[in-house]
Amino acid sequence: MCVHLNNEKKVTLYFIRHGETQYNVEKRMQGFCDSPLTEKGILQARSVGKGLTDIHFEAAYASDSQRVLDTAKYAIGDRDIPLSVDTRLKEMNFGVFESLLPQEISEQYGNALETLFSLELDASAPEGESYSQLFARTEQAVEEIVKKHESKGGNVLIFSHGVTIGNYIIQLTNSKEFTIHENCSVTVVSYLNGKRVIETVADTSFQEKGKKDL
């Protein structure tokens, strides 16, 4: 009798949203555009990294946005965790909404922002990308990361963005409930034998624990 042995091992991804930025404070739309981390954002990044020190990570991946790269740098600190950049982990492209305030969008584009926030798969900002397009590139990146690590298994850090992570979760669950991912909150998803298990969403406890230990 021939027995097929599956050599896949569990891969657990820890998705982390970047720390607070200047545009977050000003409440500007921030997708492909960028703004620096605030002092609070730096503290959040250092705190979540400290809160995760008891967990061994095989590798880390990050969007190419500077706010995410800086978050990864502060969170990883002096730990020996190799960091790779993947542009597919970038935030949703908000097109003509980029860097604008909500009231400016309303004045210039009417109810277009409300249409975007409807979460319909084909909803997008003018000249931006849709939720389905965002999910397609996010899922492709995640699947490649899991494939890369499934022979050995282990934990992997994914530094990304609020809408990118939130959209990934709601598409996996076919939900219309969009959970707000606070800065440096952690979402954990495990992968084994083609199955995905969402273990926690937008968890701030790692950051809170780490802040106490800094």
DSSP letter assigned to residue 45: H
Report yes or no on 44 lying in a domain.
yes
Q: Report the binding-site residues for substrate.
A: 17-24, 67
d(CA 143, CA 53): 25
**What's the CATH number where 81 sits?**
3.40.50.1240
d(CA 68, CA 113): 24
Report yes or no on 5 lying in a domain.
no
Q: Report the binding-site residues.
A: 17-24, 67
Report yes or no on 115 lying in a domain.
yes
Give tens-digit pLDDT for 11-49.
999 999 999 999 999 999 999 999 999 999 999 999 999
Report yes or no on 86 lying in a domain.
yes
**Nearest partner of 58 among 83, 85, 87, 86, judged by Cα:** 83
Range of the domain at 122: 11-213
Report yes or no on 153 lying in a domain.
yes
| Token pair recorded at residue 194 | 């083609």
Give the number of domains in the chain. 1
Give tens-digit pLDDT for 107-134.
999 999 999 999 999 999 999 999 999 9
pLDDT at 4 over 80: no
Pair type for strands 57-62 and 154-160: parallel
Report yes or no on 3 lying in a domain.
no
pTM: 0.95
Report yes or no on 157 lying in a domain.
yes
Report yes or no on 1 lying in a domain.
no
Q: Which residues are catalytic?
A: 18, 91
Is the dihedral angle over the CA atoms 69, 159, 9, 147 positive or is it negative? Answer: negative
Q: What are phi and psi of 113, to 5 degrees?
A: -70, -40
